[in-house]
Structure 1
Amino acid sequence: MVRYALACLIAAASLVSGPAEAQRAKDLFGAADRPTAHRAEPIGSYARGCAHGLEALPETGESWQAMRLSRNRNWGQPQLIGFVQDLGRHMDRIGWGGIYVGDISQPRGGPMLTGHASHQIGMDADIWLYPATNMQLSRSSRESLSAISMRRRAGAFVNDQWTRGQHELVKKAAQDPRVARIFIFPGAKVQMCNDETGDRSWLRKVRPWYGHHYHMHVRMSCPAGAPHCENQAAPPPGDGCAEAQGWVDNILNPPPRDPDAPAPTPRRELTMADLPAQCADVLSAPSR
C-alpha cells in the first residue's frame, strides 16, 4: 500500500505539472496493489488499456488454483473470473483435478512491469496446459512448480505430453460464447484439426501464435454495457486449419530471408499518453 500511495502522489503531482503523459504506464499500474472501488469496466484495448473494479480469482477453488501469487496478477473482469471457474469445473468432471491459472491482470489492469504486452483490461488469462492434479498447492509450490512444454520441433508438432485432455481443455474454452479467441502454438492447432471428428466450428477461435506451448492464452470478448472496451477484430471465416498448417510448414522449411527487409522496430514502452484518458482516473480512484 505504501508503494501504491507513493505512485499515486507522483501521478497526481505530474498531472499538475504536465509530464504525467510521458511517464511509463507500467511503473504506475505495476505499483497498484488493489482494484478500484468502481463497478467493473474494461477500458481501451487488450494491449492499451486499464480497468475499473476488477475481481480477484480466489487463490484456491474446488477446481482451480491461481499460480505465481507473488505477481498479484489474478485480477479479472467478472465475466472472465466466471469463465475460469466454469472451465475448472468442467475439467474436474472429465478427469483432471481442475486447472492451474497463470497471469490474468494486475489489480487495475494496465501495462505490466514484466512480460505480457496484453492482459491490460482484465479480459485475458493464461491457463496452463499442465494437467492439474493437486488442488491444494502451497504458496511456495505455486511459485516453484513448472508447467510442462507440449511442443516438439520448435512448435511444429505436439510431444508425448499432449493428450486428449489438452484437446478437451482448449475445445471447452473455445466453445464458450464469452471467449473471443485462444492463442496456442501452431503444432497444437494442427493436431486438434487432425483429431476433431465432431463440430469443427470452435476451431476458428483457436489461433496459432509464437510460444504458448506451456499454456493457452484465452481472450474474452468485451462484455455488454462496456462502451470504452475495444474488441479485437473477429478471426477470419473457416476453421483456420490451413493457416495453422502454413505456420508449421514455415517452421519446418523456413522461407528465405529477405535481405531488404527492414530491421524489426523495438517495442516502445507505453506512456500514459498512449492509454485512454480514463486510465488516469483509474489510477487515482479509491481502492476497494
Structure 2
Amino acid sequence: MIDPERFFPRFFAAALLVLAATLLANAGHAAELAKNAFGSQRLPAATSPESVGFYSKGCFGGGVAIAVDGPTWQSMRLSRGRRWGHPTMIKLIEKLSRDGVQDGWPGLLVGDISQPRGGPMLTGHASHQIGLDADIWMTPMPKRRLSTAEREDLSATLMIKKGGLVVDESVWTPAHLGILRRAASYSEVERILVHPGIKKKLCDTATGDRKWLRKVRPFWGHDYHFHIRIGCQAGSPGCKKQEAAGGGEGCDSALAWWFTEEPWRPSKTPPKPPARDRITLNDMPKACLAILKAPAPESEAAVTIGGGGMAQTAIPTTLAEKLAKGADSVSDTPETSIPVPETRPDN
C-alpha cells in the first residue's frame, strides 16, 4: 500500500519542480531577443493576411514573397530573405513596376521589404516589421538579368552630392521624378521617405498637380533608395496606424529645417543601443507570439506571387550568412550613427 504521509509530499514536490522548470523555460523564451526569433524564420505564417503592431514594432501573418525576377523588376540582396510582405504591398510593387515602364522607368530594383513573419531584423532597418514597407532602389533596372552575385554586391546609385545635401545633377533624371510621382499617386501609399535633397529637387521641379508631394517626406539616409509605406489593411485590427502626413506640399519651413545645422548636429549624449538589440519576445504584441508559432506553408514557391514565367534564382540563405552580410549602403540609417534632435517637423 501507498503510504500517504510519504507519497503525497514527494508527489507535490515533483509537481512543483516540473511547474518551476516549465515557468523558467517560458520565461527564457519570452526573454529571447525578438530579432533572433523572427530573423531565423524562413517561411511565413500560414494564416490570413494580418499586420500586428506598428511599423517599427510588430509582425505579420499570411505573408507572400515577390518573385526574384519579373518582367519589370528584379529583387536584390537575395541572401537577406527580405522579399516578403503583405499581399497588398507585393501587388503594389508589381503595379508600380508596370506603370513605371509606361512612364519611362526601365523597371524596379526591389530592395528590402520584410522578413517572412516580419518582426525586428538582425541588421539594418528599425521599421519594415509588419509587411507594409518596401525599399525601391533609385537605380533603374538594367536591360539584362543580374546574377546572384551581382545582386549581393552591386551598389545602388548615390543620388546626393558627396559631402552635401543637394541632388547630384549628373545622375538625377526626369524619370526619377516620374517614378516617385507614380508611387505617390496610389491611394494605398501613405508615405514615401527620401533624402531631404531629393525632396527639395522635387519641390523645385515638379509641375502641374503637385498634391502628391505631400506624401513624399524628407528623412535621414534614403539617398540611394526611396521607402514606400502603405497603410494598415483590412483584416488587421491589431495594426497601429501612423498619423496622417501633414497637409500642403511639404516644401515650406518643414523642408527648410533639414538644411539647417540642427538635424546634423552631433549628439551630446551617448546613443542608446538600437531597439532591435533590446526588444524581447515579451515586449512584442501578444499576437506576434502566435504568428511566430503558426505553421508554415508547404514551400516558398507556394506563397510566391508574380514573375510572369521568369526564371527564379536559388537563394542561398543561412543565419550565419545573413549575419555576415550585415547592412549595406541601401539599409535604413542606423540608429546609432545619426543623432536625432528632440524636435523636428512631423514625418
Report deviation, 1:75: 0.2
- 1:1-288 matched pairs, under 5 angstroms: 16-134=25-143, 136-152=145-161, 154=163, 156-159=165-168, 160-242=170-252, 243-250=254-261, 262-268=269-275, 269-288=278-297
| Counterparts of 1:18 and 1:249, CA distance in 2 | 47
TM normalised by structure 2 equals 0.74
For 2:144 and 2:52, how far apart are their aligned partners in 1?
Answer: 33
Instruction: Please give the TM-score of this superposition, normalised by the length of structure 1.
Output: 0.89
Amino acid corresponding to residue 151 of structure 1 in structure 2: I
Query: Are the equivalent residues in 1 in contact too, given 2:213–2:249 (CA < 8 A)?
Result: yes
CA contact (8 A) 1:64 1:135 kept: no
Which AA in structure 2 matches 1:195? Answer: T
How big is the shift at 1:45?
0.6
**Count of aligned pairs:** 272
**Secondary structure of 1:125's match?**
strand
Displacement of 1:15 after TM fit? 8.3
Amino acid corresponding to residue 44 of structure 2 in structure 1: P
Q: Shift of residue 161 of structure 1? A: 0.7
SS of the residue corresponding to residue 194 of structure 1 reads helix
- Following superposition, the deviation at residue 187 of structure 1 comes to 0.6
Mapped contact 1:65–1:135 kept (Cα < 8 A): no
Q: CA deviation at 1:167?
A: 0.8
Q: Is the 8 A contact 2:166 2:197 kept in 1?
A: yes
Deviation at 1:180, TM superposition (A): 1.0
Superimposed CA distance per residue, residues 113-153 of structure 1 (whole angstroms, 9 cap, x where no aligned partner): 11100000110000000111235222222112211100025
1:155–1:185 Cα contact (<8 Å) kept: no
Using a 3 Å threshold, how does the CA distance of structure 1 residues 202 and 211 change in structure 2: closer, same or farther?
A: same
Distance 1:15 1:102 in 2: 40
Query: Which range moves more in the overlay, 90-99 or 177-186?
Result: 90-99
Q: Residue 255 of structure 2 aligns to which amino acid in structure 1?
A: A
CA contact (8 A) 2:49 2:235 kept: no
Q: Percent identity of the aligned residues?
A: 44
Contact 2:44/2:63 (8 A) holds in 1: yes
The answer on whether the counterparts of 2:105 and 2:179 sit within 8 Å (CA) in structure 1 is: no
Q: Using a 3 Å threshold, how does the CA distance of structure 1 residues 130 and 22 change in structure 2: closer, same or farther? A: same
